[in-house]
Structure 1
C-alpha cells in the first residue's frame, strides 16, 4: 500500500471540504407536508430543476396540494403558486416529479402508486399556471408508479414509469417532441419482469445524451427479495440498447440477458431505487447500499465503470446493523444516497455521496473520494440540524451545466409500512453548494 498517496488524498479531501464549506448557504422557500417522506424521497425526478436563468421547485403543502415555485438563479425570493392538483400524500410513493422542456414549458406528474396517469403542462413557457390534467399517449397509463422526467440535449423529454405492480411490473419509456408537442411511446416494455419480478431502476443522462440505466430485480412485494445490479445504455434516445461493452440487447431486457454490474444475493439488505450519474467522459456510477456476505452491517457502495471494467467501492464506515424486509415505504435508519461524480485534472475518478444516517444524528451528510482507485472516503456533515427521514434530491440540470449543487431539504418523518405521523408542516429549503465541481479540482 502506498501510504504517501493515501495521506495526500486525505489531505486534499480535507482541504477541499474546508474551502468548499464557505460556498454553502440555505434558502427558505415555504412550508411543506411532513407527516411522511413523500416530499423527500430519493426517486423524485425532479424536486428542483433549472432552465436558462430560472429554477423551479415543487412540493405538497400541509393540505396535500401541489405547490409550485420559481425564482431567478442567484436570488433568494421565490414566487409560489398553489396548484389545483391534490395528491394522496399519506402514501410516500406518491411524489411530485417535474421537468422543463427546451421551449421552457413546465411538465408535471404527481400522485402515483399503481393508478391512472396524472400529468399536466404549464400554460406558457416559464409559467407556474398549469393546464388541465391530460393523457400522454393513451397507452398503458392505468397503473403508473415512479414517474421520472429527463431532458435530452435537443430539448425533448423522456418520461419513465413502472406499468404494473411490485414484483410484476415493466418499464415504460415515452418521449416528448418539441416540434409536434406530442408524446410517443419509445419502449412499452423495456425491462420485462416476465410476470414474476420487476425492475427497480435509476437512470441518468450524460452530456452526450446517452441514457444510462441500472436496476435491481425484486422477486415479489417483499423488499428482502431485491437482488443484483444490472445495467444498460442507449445512445439514440432509448430506441436501441446495449451493454457497457457495446453489445446490442435483444429487447425486452430480462433477468436472463441482462448485463450485471454486480451480483448481490437476495436477503442482503439491498435497497431499491437509489441513484446514478455519469461523468463528462460518460462513465456511469451507481450508488446504493447492501450487506456483504458474512457481515452484519449494511454499507454504502459505489459501483462504477473504469477502463471498461465494473468496480465496487465499499465505503465501510457504518457500524449499526438493521434488517430490510416487508412491504410499503420503510422507516430505515439511513437514506438512499445520491451520487455525484467527475474526473479530476490528474484523470482520476472522483465521487461524492449525499446521504442521511442515524449514526450521524440524521443530518445532511456527504462522503467524498477524490480517487476511487484508492478508495479513501472522507465524511462531512453539511447541515447543523436533523432532517428526520429525509432523502436527497437535487437540481440535476444545474449540476450538469454549472457544477453547482442545489439540494431540496425538508425535515420529514416516515412511519414504517406506509404509515404517517402527526407532524406539523416543516420548512422547505434549498441548500446551495456553489461551484462544488470546480472547487474540487
Structure 2
C-alpha cells in the first residue's frame, strides 16, 4: 500500500466521525507561546510552511507581539519547545508578510519573511537542526527586488524549490528557484514560469507528490481587486520543474499564459472565487484542488473540489447557507477560511477531506469528509470547540508524508478588512495534534 493511501485511509478511522465534534482524546493541544494577533499574518493559508518536521524534530515560526521572528524547535512527542526570538522583524500590520520555513534534506532550516512586493528576505541556519541563523542573504541575486508569497517545497531527494511572485497584484509573474543540498547553492529554474503579460497575475497553490512530480494550479486576477479572480488552471512537471505539461501530456511552451493554459474549471469574474488555496495529488498523479466560489444561479459561496481522473470534475460541497461578497483590495475579513485539502483514490472510489473555518459553525477548526466522490454527501465535523477567529489552516506537510501524523498550526487571530489592524491582545500559538 502506498504512503499516500495509508495516510488518507488513517484519516478516516471511525472515531473521526462520531458526534458533532471530534472526541476530546483525538486532538492533543500543544501550547507554544503568545504571538501577534492584531491581524492574520501568523495564520494565513499560504504559509509554506508554518510547521515543518525533519527526522525526530519539528520546527515552528511566528511573529511576536513586537513583530520579531520567533523560531522554535521540539522533539516530536514532547510538549517542551526551545524558542528563540530573533532580531529579524517584519511589517506585521500587513497580513501578506507571513513567515515561511522549510528544512532541507541535510537538516538546515530555511526561512523567508516580510514580503509584499519587497526585496527578498532570506536566511538559513548555521548548522543542521539549529535555530541560529546566518546573516540574511540573497539566493541567486536575480529577480529578487519585488517578492510576494514565498513558498518552500521539499523534494523527495531533500532538495528545495522556492516559489514566489515577482511584480504586483494584477501584473505579476511566477518565479521558481531550486536549492541543491550537495552544493548548498540556489539556482534559477524559471524567471517567469507563469506570465501575467503585464495584464494579470497568477495566484497559485502547489504540491510535490511521492514520485517527485510537481503539480501547480492557479486562478488569474485581472487587477488588485479580488473580485477579478477567475478560472482555475493547471500544469505539472515530471522532471523537477524544468519542463511542464498538461494532463494530456502535451508540453507547455513556456512561459505559460492565459491563452495557452489548461483550464480545470472555467469560473467567471465576480464569482467570489478565492485565490491561494491548496491542492494534492494521489499515487496515480491525479490532481485535486480545493477552493471556494459562488456557483452560477446561487448567492452563497460554497467550497468546491476540482479533480482529474481522465477528465476534470467540479463538485460543490454544498453545506454552506450564508452569503457574502468577496471584493476589494488588501487582506479581506472573510467569514470562511481558504481550505486545506487531502484527497485520494482507493478501491475505485475517490475520496477527500477539506480542513476549514466558517462563521456558520462558530469559527472553529472544522473538517468535511467525503469517502466516495461519486456521491455528494459530505460529513462536516469540528475538531474542537475552540474559537479561532480569522484563522486559516496550515499544517506540517512533511510530518504528514513521513509519519502519517496531522499537526495543525492554530492561533486565534482577528483580521480587519483591507489591512486594518484590530486591538486584539497577543494570542497563544498552539499545535493541534490530531490523533487518528
TM-score for both structures, normalised by structure 1: 0.94
Q: Does 1:100 align with 2:88?
A: no
Aligned-partner SS, 1:147 = strand
Is contact 1:13–1:369 with CA below 8 Å preserved after alignment? no
Query: Using the alignment, how far apart are the partners of 1:363 and 1:348 within structure 2?
Result: 29
Q: Does 1:348 align with 2:349?
A: yes
Tell whether 2:427 aligns with 1:426: yes
Query: What's the offset of the Cα at 1:342?
Result: 2.6
1:163 aligns with 2:166: yes
The reply to whether residue 315 of structure 1 matches residue 291 of structure 2 is no
Aligned counterpart for 1:244 among listed residues 244, 247, 259: 247
Q: How far did residue 274 of structure 1 move?
A: 0.6
Counterparts in 2 of 1:33-432, with a 5 A limit?
33-306=36-309, 308-344=310-346, 346-432=347-433
Please state whether the residue corresponding to 1:173 is helix, strand or coil: strand
1:375 shift after superposition: 2.4
Is the CA contact (8 Å cut-off) linking 2:72 and 2:84 kept in structure 1? yes
Partner of 2:3: none
Q: Indicate if the aligned counterparts of 1:13 and 1:378 stay in contact, CA closer than 8 A.
A: no
CA shift for structure 1 position 282? 2.0
CA–CA distance in structure 2, aligned partners of residues 15 and 129 of structure 1: 41
Classify the secondary structure of the residue corresponding to 1:401: helix
The answer to whether the 8 A contact 1:120-1:133 is kept is yes
In the TM superposition, what whole-angstrom CA distance separates every residue of 1:104-123 from its partner, at most 9, and x where no partner exists? 00000000000100000000
Deviations 1:294-326 (A, max 9, x none): 1100000010112x1111110011111111100
**Whole-Å separation in 2 of the counterparts to 1:278 and 1:395:** 17
Quote the offset at 1:14 in angstroms: 6.4
Shift of 1:16: 4.1
In structure 1, C-alpha distance between the alignment counterparts of 2:135 and 2:16, rounded to whole Å: 47
* 1:244-293 deviations in Å (ceiling 9; x for gaps): 12111000000000000000000000000111112233221111100011
Q: Residue 39 of structure 1: SS of its match in structure 2?
A: coil
Measured in 2, the distance between the counterparts of 1:403 and 1:270 equals 31
Report the counterpart of residue 9 of structure 2 in structure 1.
none
SS in 1 for 2:193: coil
> For 2:285 and 2:399, how far apart are their aligned partners in 1?
18
1:23: which partner in 2?
26
Indicate if the aligned counterparts of 1:59 and 1:67 stay in contact, CA closer than 8 A.
yes
1:14·1:378 contact (CA, 8 Å) conserved in 2?
no
- Tell me, in whole angstroms, the C-alpha distance in 1 between the residues paired with 2:400 and 2:284: 15
Note the residue ranges of structure 2 that are not aligned, 5 or more in a row: 1-11
CA contact (8 A) 2:27 2:384 kept: no
Residue-by-residue CA offset, 1:154-185 (whole Å, 9 max, x unaligned): 11100000000000000000000111111000
Q: Structure 2 CA distance, aligned partners of 1:167 and 1:125?
A: 39
Residue deviations 1:42-74 (CA, integer Å, cap 9, x gap): 000000001111110000011110001101111
Equivalent position of 2:5 in the other structure: none
Paired residues in the alignment total 422
- Kindly provide the CA deviation profile for residues 387-409 of structure 1, in whole angstroms up to 9, marking residues without a partner as x: 00000000011111222110000
CA-to-aligned-CA distance 1:201-243 (integer Å, 9 cap, x gap)? 0001000010000000000111000000000000111100000
Contact 1:194–1:254 (CA<8 Å) still a contact in 2? Answer: yes
Following superposition, the deviation at residue 329 of structure 1 comes to: 0.2
User: In 2, Cα distance between the equivalents of 1:155 and 1:99?
Assistant: 11
Residue 142 of structure 1 deviates from its aligned partner by 0.3
1:83 Cα offset (Å): 1.2
Q: Deviations over 1:84-106 (max 9, x none)?
A: 10000000000000100000000
